[in-house]
Each structure stands twice: as C-alpha cells, then as structure tokens.
Chains A and B, each alone.
Chain A
C-alpha cells in the first residue's frame, strides 16, 4: 500500500502539467525555533497578488509544553525569485511540480503567554517583530509542500517551518503543454 502511494506521489511530481494561475490557498505547518528549541504549529492563507507575489496572513502557536508559550499573528509578503509559472502567449500558467523559490518579508504581532523577564531586554509580553526569510514550495495543482526558514531581525532568532498548502479553488482543467 505504501509502495503504491509513493509511486503515485512520484508520478504526480514528475508530470509537468500546466494549470491556470493559483487561486487562494490554505496551509497548515509545523514550526521549530532553532535557538530556543521550541516547536509549534501554524495556519496560513496564501492570497495571490500577481503571478510572482503573494500576501500571506498567518497565525502560529507554540504550546505550553515548550519553555515559552506564545502566539503570533501577522502577515508576510512572498516574492518568487525562482518562479513556477510559464508564459503561453499573454497567459501565465502554473507548473505546480516545478519548485518555486521565494523570499519573504513581513511583520508579526507576538504575545508571550507565560512571559517572564529574560536576558533579551527587548522582549516584552507583547511585541511587534519584523522578519525575513526564504522558502520553497512544490507539489500538485491542489496540494503543495512548503519549507521555509525565517529570521526574526529584532530578537536574532531563526525558525524553520514545514507545511502543506491546499488550493481548493484552483481550476481542474489542464492546459495544453504545446507551444
């Protein structure tokens, strides 16, 4: 059973089907803060602004089993520097299995739920933090994996995020791959 599923995934990834541009997507992710060694989860919405740019509102929660329990809410702007779109005449079409590499920048509101004064004197119970990062995503027309690394400029902390994006509103129609 596992073999069949793996084969299916590989087949999906190697086929270079073309689709109309991405619609709004929803994502779930796991998060790991490298210096603090804390883990959590996140939810995001990916809204296309252009064929290369996306607005990504998101919330994140690092639960109480960590030394620091906190929530984040904010927005990132993603810009594809290695795009998964191709031009066909005047149309831009998406090749979902082609990896899209993007830079991210944004701002997050942070609420440290079990706040205690720490060696980082810049941190309060409530904070607004700028962040930058780099990410990659690839998959199918409806489901894509993404991996990101982000850097919190203010606190000098980095974290990684791995998740799945769902595109429920994407067109099911495959475009002709001929020139």
Chain B
C-alpha cells in the first residue's frame, strides 16, 4: 500500500511537472510581427460554455435544473408575451450559469455595481421565449431561482440585476428590497431568489474591505492595451473586474489579486500574461504577453 502511494506520488510529480515556459524566450516569440485582433473579447465569448436550452411543456417539467445545480421554477402564467397577454405551454428557456471565475472571464463579466466591487456567489442569465417571441416576467409572479452555494452560505448576500449596454453587461443594480417578499433568502445549502425580471441575475454583496483603495495602471509595449482583454480576479473577495483602458477601477490595497491578460492574433494565435500579486498603492503592471494555446489558457482559468 505504502509503495503504491509512493508510486502514485512519483507519477503525480511527473504529470504535474510539464511546464516548459522557462525555455520559451520572449525575444524569440516574434510577437512584434503579429497582427492582433481589435476584438479579443468576442473570441473569448466563443470559448465560453453556451447556455442550456430547455423546453417547458407542462408543470411536470419543473423545476428546470442547470448543469451546475441552479433550479428554476418558471410557469407560463407568470410570463407575458410582447402584446401583454399571458404565455401558455410550451415555452422555451435558455439558462446560462456563471459560478466560476473562468466563466465570468469568458463571459466578460465584472462584479461591479456603480464601480463598487461586489463579492459574488454566482450569476445566471435566464431568457424565456414562446415561438421565438421574447417573454417578460409579470409584476406579480411566483418565479423562484435556487442558487447552489459554492462556498459557505453568506446571510449578507443580496440580489442584483445585470444592466446590458450594446450587448455588453456593464453594471449590476440592486433589486428592490421594499417589496413584500424579500428578493433573496439564504437557505441551508444556497440562496432562493424571487426575481422581478429575467436576464442577468446575480447573488452578491458589496465587499467589506476597510483598506484604502487605489487604481492599478497597466502598460504593454506590444500590442497596445486596447487589443488586450485584462481581468483582475480577487480570490479572497470572490470578485472579478474587467479592465477598460489602461486603468483599473478602485481596488483595496493589500488584497490578493490574479491578473489575466489575453490577446489573440488575426490568425487565431493566443497570447496571455498572468500574474499573482498583492495590490499596492498606485501599482503599475507591465504586461508581457507570451504565446499560449487556447487549451492551455482554459486549463489555467480552471485553476483560478
């Protein structure tokens, strides 16, 4: 038994030890001869897990359960057609579950509400349609979504809705908490949400950090920053920040952060840069992209 364990350990050592990165010199990567695409984010989205498509034909099909454990109770009497009439079975539903940092990055999501950092317990994007016509939730509805807890249930969590602009999710707005039923209730193994709208729905809370805040500045010799998708992931805060331009939003000094920068050439060659650091006041980070593959990058994102 002991020898088997040792053998397994030895195999593990070799299996893990596969990094040849130190032998790939940046001067030889020929990066300056490459033409980088203006929209690497679109390529990232293509690498994201697509939403699950389900048809609800009767009450027996409820709840809809996503691959990551989200439960959705959605009945046609709660759904309105564009002309204001109530929907009937069957209805088509698309559900996209975003619980892992990898999925947030690939879906280009920031957990920010009016530039303030949110700590997230997971997000879903739910759309419903009837014969191709989009459906909306009626004002008084009995729809509920059960979010599984990926870590300990946090009683300070609240419900937020995503605001999209030009097809891009760029803000989270807190749900109305003055209603008779609270929009979010913690349960033993997750959260029960009672949304007033479909679309992007997020279980979050504002981060509690008392540390002073700063903005991180990014620079890249080649390609220019505008051709690089940059994300900051704060593992202790469970927060993701997408960077627009060369400066981050305000982040707490002293917090642990993982930086992921991705750029893609017009020939679909993938380049990346990653860095794990602790946020310092007025920090500047020089992004040095190195060649990678889409598969290796996905493996790295899985480790976040």
Residues of A within 8 A of B (CB): 34-36, 67-68, 81-82, 101, 116-121, 123, 132-134, 149, 151-152, 155-158
On whether the beta carbons of B6 and A134 are closer than 8 Å, the reply is yes
Complex A-B: 11 CB contacts under 8 Å: A34-B17, A101-B6, A116-B27, A117-B288, A119-B22, A119-B291, A121-B274, A121-B275, A134-B6, A134-B13, A155-B22
The smallest beta-carbon distance between A33 and chain B, in angstroms, is: 9
Given A118-B26, A119-B25, A123-B22, 12 other A-B residues pairs in contact with their CB atoms under 8 A = A35-B19, A35-B20, A82-B2, A117-B27, A119-B24, A119-B26, A121-B290, A134-B6, A149-B10, A152-B17, A157-B22, A158-B17
The smallest beta-carbon distance between A88 and chain B, in angstroms, is: 24
The smallest beta-carbon distance between A64 and chain B, in angstroms, is: 15
Report the nearest A residue to B276, measured CB to CB.
A122
Among A67, A117, A155, contact of B19 (Cβ-Cβ < 8 Å): A155
Q: For B114, what are the chain A residues with a Cβ–Cβ distance below 8 Å? A: none
Residues of B within 8 A of A (CB): 2, 6, 9-10, 13-14, 16-27, 29, 273-275, 288, 290-292
On whether the beta carbons of A81 and B19 are closer than 8 Å, the reply is no
Tell me the number of A-to-B contacts counted with CB atoms below 8 Å.
Answer: 77
Q: A119-B291, A121-B275 are in contact. Are A36 and B13 (CB under 8 A)?
A: no
Q: For A156, what are the chain B residues with a Cβ–Cβ distance below 8 Å? A: 16-19
On whether the beta carbons of A133 and B13 are closer than 8 Å, the reply is yes
Q: Within the assembled complex, what's the spacing in Å between the Cα atoms of A155 and B147? A: 37
Report the nearest B residue to A101, measured CB to CB.
B6
Q: For A68, what are the chain B residues with a Cβ–Cβ distance below 8 Å? A: 22-23
On whether the beta carbons of B13 and A158 are closer than 8 Å, the reply is yes
Q: Within the assembled complex, what's the spacing in Å between the Cα atoms of A174 and B174? A: 81
Q: For A116, what are the chain B residues with a Cβ–Cβ distance below 8 Å? A: 25-27
The smallest beta-carbon distance between B264 and chain A, in angstroms, is: 16
On whether the beta carbons of B19 and A120 are closer than 8 Å, the reply is yes
Q: For A151, what are the chain B residues with a Cβ–Cβ distance below 8 Å? A: 13, 16-17
Report the nearest A residue to B7, measured CB to CB.
A134
Q: For B288, what are the chain A residues with a Cβ–Cβ distance below 8 Å? A: 117, 121
On whether the beta carbons of A118 and B6 are closer than 8 Å, the reply is no
The smallest beta-carbon distance between A53 and chain B, in angstroms, is: 18
Interface centre among B2, B23, B292 (most CB of A within 10 A): B23
Q: A81-B2, A119-B24 are in contact. Are A157 and B13 (CB under 8 A)?
A: no
On whether the beta carbons of A35 and B26 are closer than 8 Å, the reply is no
Q: Within the assembled complex, what's the spacing in Å between the Cα atoms of A152 and B292? A: 21
Report the nearest B residue to A36, measured CB to CB.
B23
On whether the beta carbons of B23 and A118 are closer than 8 Å, the reply is yes
The smallest beta-carbon distance between B185 and chain A, in angstroms, is: 43
Q: For B19, what are the chain A residues with a Cβ–Cβ distance below 8 Å? A: 35, 120, 155-157
Among B6, B14, B20, B24, contact of A81 (Cβ-Cβ < 8 Å): B6
Q: For B274, what are the chain A residues with a Cβ–Cβ distance below 8 Å? A: 121
Q: Within the assembled complex, what's the spacing in Å between the Cα atoms of A134 and B6? A: 8
Interface centre among A36, A67, A68, A158 (most CB of B within 10 A): A158
Q: For B24, what are the chain A residues with a Cβ–Cβ distance below 8 Å? A: 118-120
Q: For A158, what are the chain B residues with a Cβ–Cβ distance below 8 Å? A: 13-14, 16-17
Q: For A152, what are the chain B residues with a Cβ–Cβ distance below 8 Å? A: 17
Q: For B22, what are the chain A residues with a Cβ–Cβ distance below 8 Å? A: 36, 68, 118-120, 123, 155, 157
6 cross-chain pairs, A with B, having the tightest CB-CB distances, nearest first: A158-B17, A120-B21, A119-B290, A119-B24, A156-B19, A119-B21
The smallest beta-carbon distance between A54 and chain B, in angstroms, is: 18
Q: Within the assembled complex, what's the spacing in Å between the Cα atoms of A123 and B290? A: 13
Q: For B29, what are the chain A residues with a Cβ–Cβ distance below 8 Å? A: 119
On whether the beta carbons of A36 and B20 are closer than 8 Å, the reply is yes
Q: Within the assembled complex, what's the spacing in Å between the Cα atoms of A108 and B242? A: 36
Report the nearest B residue to A37, measured CB to CB.
B23
Q: Within the assembled complex, what's the spacing in Å between the Cα atoms of A35 and B17? A: 7
Among B17, B25, B292, contact of A157 (Cβ-Cβ < 8 Å): B17
